[in-house]
Structure 1
Amino acid sequence: MPGSEVRPLAIPEPEPAPTDHDPWAEAPAYLVEDNRQVQYFLDRFTGSRREVVGRWLGRAGGYLVMIRETFRAQGLPEDLAFTAMIESGFQPLAVSRAGAKGLWQFMAATARRYGLRVDAWVDERLDPERSTLAAAAYLRDLHRQFGSWLLAQAAYNAGEVTVARAIHRTGSTDFWALARTGFLRRETKEFVPAIQAAILIGRDPARYGFEVGDAEAAEVERVAVPPSTDLRTLAAAAGVSAGMLRALNPVLVRGVTPPRTAWELRVPGGTRAGVLAALAPRPTRLAASGSVGRAAGGAHVHVVRPSDTVSGIAQQYGVSVGDVTRWNSLGQPDRIRPGDRLRVAELR
């Protein structure tokens, strides 16, 4: 500072570089209560529910680092990541009886409110990264509204109106006091201490006899594909596992990309070139021929691509769906496959 005495700069000794980054061992920023409700779930998770919790923690390795990094970037306690453990068991495709979906068990209306696309073609509640961003925003808003992470978690489960009504009727903003009243459902009363017990286990799994393996993220590439691309058809044409393609793109609820717009598809690492080759147009024009099954008079023949539909092909060549169906004896127009050769003009 100006005017202060100049002193030699003290250079601290360099700290040894960490060997392995351990996200489980980071300093917690969330207060866990030491009470009988939390202890009840801790005993249950390490006792009768041990096998189930072990499976949850086994899946956590694939998502925990991403969730904690997202929460840290959004200014949330990293330990809130274990909310997903109680919501879904870290199962990104989980679906509740009420229709909540994904890691964070969003209902459709709340998901849309926080920017997730949910429609007949796409359900981003099933996207771990995007749904985690939405969950962070929702939890942050709830904390701003109620001023407590415990109340924020209660509202995440029960809804803002329910928690606000409980506070209004009791005059208390202490979650544990509210949990002793009849203004919260049993599910909500148990939701918060269950998360706290999960956090204790997650901070030190070995202490409680759990092992959590590191899950290696699958190598993924991205490819822009045309509208209405069928994943199964594309997989067959590109020599890619259809199951893997569906697993990498769980948001595509019909297994088909949305109509009227291109879509960025996730494909297994090392397969991008093959997918692009399968998508490349291969127009063919046959010379005049009198042989059976060949178009005569120079008629056009269309080679089916993975993204093609009969209606789209018909529109492309200015003919009707009925024409294409009749000329090619298609019993079921939706059963065309990549590589099929369809006549798209009448024989003359």
Structure 2
Amino acid sequence: MKQKPSREMSSLMETVDIERDDILAKKPKTGEYTHEMAEATADDGEIKKVVGTAEIDAELPGSESDAVPYSRNFLKNKKTQRMQFWVEYFTTKNRDRFQRFINNGEEYRHHIEEIFEQYGLPKELYFVGLIESGYYLGARSHASAVGPWQFIRATGKRYGMKISPELDERQDLFKATHAAARYFKDLHNMFSSWELALASYNAGENGMVRRIVKYGTHDFYKMSRNKQLPSETINYVPKVLAAMHVVQNAKHYGFEIPKKKYRIYDLTELTPTKKNASLHTIAARMGIDMQLLKKLNPELRKNSTPRYFTGTYMLRVPKSKYAYRLNEDAPVAGVTMINVPKLSKPESRKELNRRTAAVDEEPNTTNTDRPKFHRVRRGETLLSISRKYDITPRKLASANDFKSWKTSLTVGQKINLSPNEEQIVSTRLAAAPKVKITNNPIIYKVVRGDSLTEIARLFNSRISAIKRVNNLKRGIVVGQKIVLPDTQKAIYTVQRGDHLTKVAKSFNLPISTLMKINSMKRRTIYAGQKLIVNMD
């Protein structure tokens, strides 16, 4: 499936200087900051007028030769008057905004460069995001392109990101950067040129292919000189080169590169969390500010984890062993500081477990202001009573030895509001996840009748990716074990009452795929059986 030619992948830099306070004043009622800006493009007449010459795309002295292949050298350091125009633009007219973009980007830069290196991509692709969004994670364009890499909905889903009313993974730095890395890799494999790859990232790969066929050239600069590309796309690569040049020579241009001991994501980790869990509850349990928790998880559109999510939802939280140091070493700009007291000595394992072992549970039911018992009044149920005293209905039912929280009550009945510790522990054990997640991809054993096309279709992968990961030069043979890229192996323990359709639906897997990876010939399963599932 290919992306339609579009201009959705647009830059956030603007031609009219608008102060940040003025922009924020135009913030929509939804609370979401929408970039109501003009695209950072300039017609050739304006550029010629500024630089004082008509040869705006001619190569200037000082450009590096292209002796190193594109895949290793990224963009050619091709200096032109057009690039110099954007250098001047970033360093004078839009200077304050570009400094903010640098500040935003440095907060995430080392994480982004590490991800690109994992995919064997040039770390200089970081500067594309600087132009796309200024690394404002909540960036949203007129065309509804969202996040640091400005993915439209179709492309985001195509590269595996979940988008729903409850969450938008395009705004998650790590998930969006992994998707961008896969997209950049696909584009470079398609065009074998980083100039054309970035141009197609901006204008759409289908449109770029049509232009290459129509004009018979793979030279980005030749198409630019002949005005065979949209104006925004002609300026896109020079803008990236200009941003690289300015940041790499920041001291010369008077920009400040912020230096911090810790960045916002440095002292964080992912933890499995219950679905539809209140962020306020989690923050209170961990002793941190909820605004920090929301800042660490920008993909969440509500003040809770998603109710409808396949698999286990992983929430990003501060590392507990560093929690008491966050005030001192890792302040977060614009966020209320965390009220965690400094500890005189490191936490014991018992204390660590007490504070952090069950982030995904409801807060401690012990409440000094809550009475120990409640007398049932007319019309009351366990659900209404649980809401009144801020306790879950299941815990309330367990504290009173009821089989279910739906049990009928009688007027005047005495309800115990203080479940003991044994009941709390048993409730936690009952709610413990039955999925064991690994960091390994799924390994599939080829059977008679299999083909690479069928395997790629079943596991939503690409034939080229399977060949590359397994170093396949020819076809596959029966009994051969192949690694499935972009999969994450997990082991699910079948529960009483489960059936194959239910399990497949729970993990958003086709039944045929589930049977394939588990070498199943029949649909019959039994309680306690271990099934391999894909969590990616």
> Above 0.5 in TM-score?
yes
Q: What is the aligned partner in structure 1 of residue 376 from structure 2?
A: 295
Worse-matched range after superposition: 244-253 or 273-282: 273-282
For 1:150 and 1:257, the matched residues in 2 are separated by 40
User: Are residues 1:263 and 2:309 paired?
Assistant: no
Q: Which residue of 2 aligns with 1:252?
A: 300
After superposition, the Cα gap between the structure-2 partners of 1:305 and 1:86, relative to the gap in structure 1 and judged at 3 Å, is farther
Say whether the 8 Å CA contact 2:75–2:195 is kept in structure 1: no
Alpha-carbon contact 1:28-1:78 (below 8 Å) kept? no
**Tell me, what secondary structure is at the counterpart of 1:317?**
coil
Give the drift of 1:204. Answer: 2.7
Partner of 2:275: 227
- 1:159 has 2:159 as partner: no
Query: Which of the residues 242, 246, 249 maps onto 1:204?
Result: 249
Q: Is the 8 A contact 1:103 1:131 kept in 2?
A: yes
- Counterpart in the other structure of 2:405: 317
Question: How far apart are the structure 2 equivalents of 1:145 and 1:110?
Answer: 16
Q: Quote the Cα distance in structure 2 between the aligned partners of 1:103 and 1:260.
A: 25
Q: Using CA pairs under 8 Å that are at least 6 residues apart, name the structure with larger relative contact order, 1 or 2.
A: 1
- Over 3 Å counting, the alpha-carbon distance change for 1:316 and 1:44 in structure 2 is farther
SS at match of 1:250: coil
User: Could you list the runs of 5+ residues in structure 1 that have no partner in the other structure?
Assistant: 1-26, 309-314, 324-348
Q: Tell me, yes or no, if the aligned pair for 2:140 and 2:146 is still in contact at 8 Å.
A: yes
State which of 211, 220, 223 in structure 2 corresponds to 1:175. 220
Q: Is 1:304 aligned to residue 387 of structure 2?
A: no
Q: CA deviation at 1:124?
A: 1.0
**1:119 equivalenced with 2:119 (yes/no):** no
Please name the residue that 2:263 is paired with: 217
Map 1:19-168 to 2 at 5 A. Answer: 30-168=75-213
Local SS of the residue matching 1:61 = helix
The C-alpha deviation readout for 1:50-72, integer Å capped at 9, x for no partner, is 11111111112111111122212
2:362 to 279, 296, 299: 279
The question of whether the paired residues in 2 share the 8 Å contact of 1:82 and 1:195 is answered with: yes
Task: Summarize the Cα distance change of 1:81–1:221 in structure 2 as closer, same or farther, 3 Å threshold.
Answer: closer
Structure 2 CA distance, aligned partners of 1:274 and 1:242? 16
Distance 1:97 1:147, change over 3 A: same
User: Residues 316 and 128 of structure 1: is their aligned pair in 2 closer, same or farther, counting only changes over 3 Å?
Assistant: farther
Contact 2:161 2:169 in 1 (8 A): yes
Maintained 8 Å contact 1:151/1:175: yes
- In 1, Cα distance between the equivalents of 2:169 and 2:271? 18
Counterparts in 2 of 1:167 and 1:41: CA distance versus 1, 3 Å: same
* Aligned pairs, number: 285
| Kept in 1: contact 2:74–2:194 (CA 8 A) | no
> Is the Cα–Cα contact under 8 Å of residues 227 and 307 in structure 1 kept in the other structure?
no
**Runs of 5+ consecutive residues of structure 2 not aligned to the other structure:** 1-71, 324-351, 395-402, 410-536
Distance (whole Å) between structure 2 residues aligned to residue 50 and residue 159 of structure 1: 30
Q: Distance in 2 between matches of 1:133 and 1:192?
A: 22
**Structure 2 counterpart of 1:243, one-letter code:** Q
**Cα distance per residue 1:31-50 (max 9 Å; x no partner):** 22111111111111112111
1:211 shift after superposition: 1.2
Greater mean alpha carbon deviation, residues 189-198 or residues 202-211: 202-211
What RMSD in Å do the two structures reach over aligned CA positions? 3.4
* Residue in 1 that maps onto 2:456: none
Q: Is the Cα contact below 8 Å between 1:237 and 1:306 reproduced in 2?
A: no
CA distance in 1, matches of 2:118, 2:112: 10
- Work out the CA distance in 2 between the residues paired with 1:54 and 1:87: 15
In the aligned structure 2, how far is the partner of 1:145 from the partner of 1:232? 46
What CA distance in whole angstroms lies between the structure 1 residues aligned with 2:241 and 2:105?
16
Residue 112 of structure 1: how far off its partner (Å): 1.2
Please give the residue correspondences for 1:332-347 in structure 2 after superposition, counting only pairs within 5 Å.
Answer: none
8 Å contact kept, 1:155–1:163: yes
User: Sequence identity of aligned pairs in percent?
Assistant: 32
Which residue identity does 1:279 align to in structure 2? E
Query: Which AA in structure 2 matches 1:85?
Result: L
2:273 equivalent to 1:185: no
The question of whether the paired residues in 2 share the 8 Å contact of 1:101 and 1:126 is answered with yes
Q: Which string of whole-angstrom CA distances, capped at 9 and with x for unpartnered residues, describes residues 216-256 of structure 1?
A: 22322444332211223543565432211111111111222
Per the TM alignment, residue 95 of structure 1 is displaced from its structure 2 partner at its CA by: 1.1
Q: Secondary structure at the match of 1:115?
A: coil
Equivalent position amino acid for 1:224 in 2: P
In the TM superposition, residue 155 of structure 1 has moved relative to its aligned partner by: 0.5
CA contact (8 A) 2:282 2:363 kept: no
1:70/1:226 CA distance change after superposition, 3 Å:
closer
TM-score, with structure 2 as normaliser: 0.48
- 1:200 counterpart SS class: helix
Structure 1 distance, partners of 2:186, 2:289, is: 41
Structure 1 residues 72-113: Cα deviation after superposition (integer angstroms, max 9, x where no partner)? 221212212100000001212211111111111111111111
How far does the alpha carbon of each residue in 1:267-319 deviate from its partner, in whole angstroms, 9 at most, with x for none? 234468557476257499x98x8xxx6337xx9653535899xxxxxx95126
Report deviation, 1:150: 0.5
On the 8 A contact 1:106/1:125 being kept in 2, the answer is: yes
